[in-house]
Structure 1
Amino acid sequence: MKRRKGIQTLEARQEPWDFVIIGGGATGLGCAVEAAARGYDTLLLEMHDFAKATSSRSTKLVHGGVRYLEQGNISLVIEALDERSILQENAPHLVRSLSFVVPNYKWWEGPYYGIGMKVYDLLAGRQNLGRSEHLNREETLNHLPTIDPEGLRGGGLYYDGQFDDARMAVNMAQTAAEQGGVLLNYMKVTDLTKTNGVVDGVVAECQETGTEFEIEARSVINATGIFTDTVRHMDDPAAPSTLRPSRGTHIVLDKSFLPGESAIMIPKTDDGRVLFAIPWNDRVVVGTTEAEVDEVSLEPKPGHDELKFLIEHAQRYLVNDPGPEDVLSIFAGIRPLVAPPNGTNADTAEISREHQLNISDSGLVTISGGKWTTYRKMAEDTINEAALDAELEERPSTTRHLNLHGWHEHPEKYGDLAPYGSDALALQQLMDEEPELADPLDDRLPICGAQGGWAVRHEMAQTAAEQGGVLLNYMKVTDLTKT
């Protein structure tokens, strides 16, 4: 995956692309994989790093969404569980099963949450990652040795998926390129072009050289996440806003606060949200919050109240009482939630995570909402409708059984390099040939020089922040500096 080669292909292009996809997060990359795998001429343009915004700031879960059961959104749970299974099959080097424990402190919590877990098992069917079960007090403490034991009655155990969002995004970009797509980061779309009122391309500017490109397309797909309305207003300045963005913040703690291999799921916080404490990269990620925001940005700043909320809940459940001084790092992302119909002023925590597909009168295709777990289904729906609208040849989806770049049947054999899957052997050989490349880039980061070089040579990394498979995202969830 070479950026320079992509630029050359773009410059030499004489015919319109079948699809120009704006946005290089989970949704846009999913659309690029979907379109390219069907054989359509596909170009993706991302104004910054791939997965720069929301897609690299998740809770690192591929899950059906236990919370959605309580909301009665059974169809979303079923769809997400199906997509979870597909992801685990297509990217076993990035997706793994993780055990979750719901601690019970009240007499009714065991049977209440136990019923929900059994329904979750039932909906997953043969795709289940493990059967849920009731844990007594001792078993709960074995799974969660640092959980507050005072008043603890027991717990509920269930299984869901965990994944590396940053590596997933990089591998999706590589997969799209291998299928014949062209993907360019640091290429910002500044306008749409129209002929007789119909969108027929984009104007894009290279963020490195300032060079402007006018690019023709049979269909333009707006998959820009939190910037969805910005692109829609390029099409129609009077278009109403469609998003209700909310900020989700996570804190990162030392592994000693949750030394086991199980995660904690807190089913109902003071504000009615679900909260997780999850083992990740030899650290613990606690999150997330739900704070409605008026403006979106690439680098959202977490609010003081959010940090206080996370620390207080961590103290409530963990015996070691983590304080502000124990927070190793903080990361926040903005969810591109689709606003409820009829102007309903629902709390953002209650807004559906289902996706919404819209085709404007001028032909701009916009895909919004959704979540990481369902990116493939979102992309399939989008390309189906976009191809029909653009009168392109109908071609069936193949991504349900398409292995993502890096697929390996036994990635665990590569140890710390397991997330690289089939690329791990080449990385190891590089370190064997040049031993100094095996040294960490920083004592506080689990990234070595070979990974940085690999990112530059093979993963289109343009800045130090991207090296190591979007290195910045490793920095967010390990140590580096306190924020």
Structure 2
Amino acid sequence: MRSQALELAAGQAWDLVVIGGGITGASVLREAARSGLRSLLLEQRDFAWGASSRSGKWVHGGLRYLQQGQMNVTWHSVRQREKLCHELTGLIDMQPMLWPLYKGQLADEVLIRAGLFVYDLIAGKRWRRSMPLAAVQQAFPDLHAPHLKGGICFYEGQTDDARMTLRVLQEARKAGGVALNYAPVVGLHREGNLVRGVQVATSSAQEPLRIQAKQVIAATGAWSDGIRAHVAHDKNSRLRPLRGSHLVFDRVRLPIDATIVLKHPRDRRPGFIAPFQGRVIVGNTDLDHDQDMRKEASITPWEVDYLLETVQHYFPALQIGRQDIIATFSGVRPVVDSGASDPSAESRDHVVWHEDELITIGGGKLTTFQHIALDALQRAKAKFPQMKLDGPPGPILTQPNPSLGVPDSLSAAQWQRLQGRYGDAASAMVLAAEPGTLTLIPGTETLWAELVWCAAHEDVQHLDDLLLRRTRIGILLAEGGRSYMPRIRELTQPALGWADDQWHAEEARYLEICRQHYSVPPVPGSDA
């Protein structure tokens, strides 16, 4: 079916081809389709396969970037955060975060208070408030911090990054855009010295298919240097891939009900511990990624120990260890390389290169995806005068029909969550739900019905698409949800249309992905 879709695409005239199906590529497609361009997005793996499903799950202003003098990044991030949280209710929710304050650290306190003051000025709303010591101790009764004197509560947006990418793609398709996953671009089509399309590999043809377009935009994240290599006159790498890794715990074992920012006991780098979809995430690292970029990123034993140090230092009574970790996940950030010795000191701003008519996006962060997409499209405005890019950007998502009441089988919070993640499709999902499937999968906030709907309607080609990106079962349940696999198979195999042999192969493939890339790696020298 994918080869047929690509052959159909090759026979059409496109204004724009977007390479890359993460949040930035999805937003480029959405804005281009909104402007009336005939637009096609091609993703070599699955939508949101890269950093767009493996972030820290925050739509945030970037307090650390403000402290580093990255005012431009913080300005656009805070403004976009406010816009996104207003428009994407149920998909992005403002959550309280505590920054602890300590006796004898006045300089740090002044910096934090000043930074949050600027935050609120940019947002046009006061989000911050002080918390006395007693309130902090009540919110975090297991916190061990001898010199604690109180804290500052502020707010950031928490999201499901993969679902946000899929919602933006949903909006792009509603506007006329076309998006295909598992459509690897293997080359660029040139007319003279100018890029005028792409070459795409298919399973049904020995030679790549040529898809022509007036403009090609590469939004491939940490893989952008590979695309630029086809046209760049400067062959030096421009990006510095940085890995951010996270641990996932059962909320019973690590009872955290609100997010807290904690500095690592050794290097004092800020990290966080946060509730997420019924579990608790501990994050994150910020390291040069020296693993094979063709493979999924994986946490290292050193990173596991580093993140565990924070938990063990601040919550020693809980006696948390490696055996308590449910899952791990790691993403690779596409940071523009400035040569900074400290990876965390690199700017999170984005860059757009325009070479031989190919537009390539580098850098940026999850929060500013619409700003980045519009900046890239500005470079092609001369070709498409019909694009209306001046003035305030339009809404990212269309709002679900407000006349639809809360279904009897769901709580108001569950209904808002479904509408945020699936838009107008939420109503069809509930109507189509089989008896007993509008209940929660244990240990998560996900309904069984979501698995069935996604399997039938959301371009699932492999089991990991369904369990790691359409839903987050793979990082919320031990061993990727192995113990629930019979029930998952019962509900989704008919919708997927897979024969038994294909199911068994997909299940084995998925569980191996979870073992290699989403589990706790063995300690070097151990027998594990």
- Fold-level match, TM-score > 0.5? yes
Partner of 1:429: 431
- Between stretches 143-152 and 321-330, larger displacement belongs to 143-152
| Counterpart for residue 104 of structure 2 | 107
Q: Secondary structure at the match of 1:400?
A: coil
Q: Secondary structure at the match of 1:217?
A: strand
Q: Which of 358, 382, 386 is the equivalent residue of 2:380? A: 386
Match for residue 417 of structure 1? Answer: 418
Please say if residues 238 and 337 of structure 2, whose CA atoms lie closer than 8 Å, have aligned partners that are also in contact: yes
SS of 1:235's equivalent in the other structure is: coil
Q: 1:18 is paired with a residue of what secondary structure? A: strand
1:364 correspondence with 2:358? yes
Equivalent-residue separation in structure 1 for 2:189 and 2:224 (angstroms): 17
1:216-258, CA deviations, whole angstroms, 9 ceiling, x for partnerless residues? Answer: 0111111111111111123348621111111110000111355
Q: Is 1:455–1:468's contact at 8 Å kept on the other side of the alignment?
A: no
Partner of 2:211: 215
User: Deviation string for 1:293-342 (max 9, x for gaps)?
Assistant: 234244112121111110001111224132111111000011111111xx
**What is the alpha-carbon distance in structure 2 between the residues aligned to residue 407 and residue 268 of structure 1?**
42
Change (3 A) 1:138 1:384: same
Deviates more, 1:321-330 or 1:460-469: 460-469
- Bigger drift between 295-304 and 98-107 goes to 295-304
Q: Secondary structure at the match of 1:367?
A: strand
The equivalent residue for 2:65 is 68
Amino acid across the alignment from 1:412? A
Structure 1 range deviating more: 406-415 or 471-480 = 406-415
Change (3 A) 1:471 1:18: closer
In 1, the alpha carbon distance for the partners of 2:308 and 2:230 equals 41
Gap regions ≥5 residues in structure 1: none
Deviation (angstroms), 1:133: 1.8
User: Partners in 2 of 1:447 and 1:207 — Cα distance?
Assistant: 34
Asked if residue 323 in structure 1 is aligned to residue 317 in structure 2, the reply is no
SS at match of 1:247: strand
The secondary structure found in structure 2 opposite 1:192 is strand
Instruction: State the SS of the aligned residue for 2:98.
Output: strand
Structure 2 residue ranges without an equivalent (≥5): 407-411, 481-518, 521-528
C-alpha separation in 2, matches of 1:439 and 1:280: 18
Residue 459 of structure 1 is matched in structure 2 by 458
What letter corresponds to residue 79 of structure 1 in structure 2? H
* In the alignment, structure 1 residue 203 sits paired with structure 2 residue 199: yes
Give the SS at the match of 1:98: strand
Give the drift of 1:100. Answer: 0.4
Which SS does the other structure have where 2:212 is aligned? strand
List aligned pairs for 1:440-451, cutoff 5 A. 447-451=446-450
CA distance, structure 2, for counterparts of residue 430 and residue 211 of structure 1: 42
1:165-187 CA deviation, whole Å, 9 max, x = no partner?
01101111111111111110000
User: Partner of 1:184 in structure 2?
Assistant: 180
SS at match of 1:200: strand
SS in 2 for 1:245: strand
Residue type at the aligned position of 1:145 = P
- CA distance in 1 between partners of 2:329 and 2:401 (Å): 30
Q: Which residue of 2 aligns with 1:142?
A: 138
Pair 1:400 & 2:393 matched: yes
AA of the residue aligned to 2:384: L
Q: Give the 3 Å change call, closer, same or farther, for CA 456–335 of structure 1 in structure 2.
A: same
Q: Is the 8 A contact 1:56 1:473 kept in 2?
A: no
Q: CA deviation at 1:63?
A: 0.4
Residue 243 of structure 1 aligns with which residue?
239
**1:421 shift after superposition:** 4.3
Q: 1:330 to 1:337 in 2, by over 3 A?
A: same
Q: How many residues align?
A: 469
User: Among 288, 293, 300, which residue is 1:296 paired with?
Assistant: 293
Say whether the 8 Å CA contact 1:47–1:189 is kept in structure 2.
yes
Q: Does 1:375 align with 2:369?
A: yes
Cα pair distance change 1:428/1:356, threshold 3 Å: same
**CA–CA distance in structure 2, aligned partners of residues 81 and 415 of structure 1:** 24
Q: Deviations for 1:77-127, whole angstroms, at most 9, x for unmatched residues? A: 11101111121233212111100011223332574255235424433342x
Q: 1:19 aligns with which of 16, 35, 40?
A: 16
2:225 maps to which of 224, 229, 249: 229
TM-score when scaled to structure 2? 0.82
Give 1:62-101 correspondences, 5 Å limit: 62-101=59-98
CA distance in 2, matches of 1:406, 1:187: 30
Which of 189, 195, 208 aligns to 1:193? It is 189
Q: Is the 8 A contact 1:255 1:282 kept in 2?
A: yes
Name the aligned partner's letter for residue 228 of structure 1: S
Match for residue 275 of structure 1 among 271, 276, 284? 271
Counterparts of 1:167 and 1:102 in 2: how far apart (Å)?
Answer: 28
Say if 1:125 and 1:52 are closer, same or farther in 2 by CA, change over 3 A: closer
- The DSSP-based 3-state class of the residue aligned with 2:163 is helix
Specify the alignment match of 2:502 in structure 1.
none
**d(CA) in 1 for partners of 2:327 and 2:468?**
19
- Pairing 1:35-50 to 2, within 5 Å after superposition: 35-50=32-47
AA aligned to 2:349 is E
What residue is the counterpart of 2:505 in the other structure? Answer: none
CA deviation map 1:119-170 (0-9, x unaligned):
24433342x4x53122111100222233225332211111111111011011
Letter in 2 for 1:402: P
Q: CA deviation at 1:8?
A: 6.6
The offset of 1:43, in angstroms, is: 0.6
Question: Matches of 2:27 and 2:462 in 1, distance apart?
Answer: 23
Q: Tell me the distance in 1 between the aligned counterparts of 2:467 and 2:8.
A: 26
* 1:412-443 Cα distance to aligned partner (Å, 9 max, x none): 35166353344333222222xx2154467x75
1:353 aligns with 2:348: yes
Indicate the percent of aligned positions where both proteins have the same amino acid: 30
d(CA) in 1 for partners of 2:157 and 2:294?
Answer: 29
Equivalent residues of 2:79, 2:123 under 8 A apart: no
Q: Evaluate the alpha carbon distance shift between residue 21 and residue 125 of structure 1 in structure 2; reply closer, same or farther with a 3 A threshold.
A: closer
Counterpart Cα distance in 1 of 2:104 and 2:324: 33
> 1:269/1:426 Cα in 2 relative to 1: closer, same or farther (>3 Å)?
farther
SS, match of residue 379 in structure 2: helix
Shift of 1:214: 0.5
Instruction: Measure, in 2, the Cα distance between the counterparts of 1:399 and 1:413.
Output: 32
Do 1:220 and 1:365's aligned partners in 2 also have CA atoms closer than 8 Å? Answer: yes
Aligned equivalents of 1:200 and 1:49: distance in 2? 25
The question of whether the paired residues in 2 share the 8 Å contact of 1:167 and 1:469 is answered with no
One-letter identity of the residue aligned with 1:450: A
CA distance in 2, matches of 1:444, 1:291: 31
2:30 and 2:172 in contact (8 A); partners too: yes
For the structure 1 residues 408 and 372, does the alpha-carbon distance in structure 2 shift closer, same or farther, using more than 3 Å as the test? farther
Q: CA deviation at 1:456?
A: 3.0
Asked whether the 8 Å contact 1:68–1:76 carries over to 2, the reply is: yes
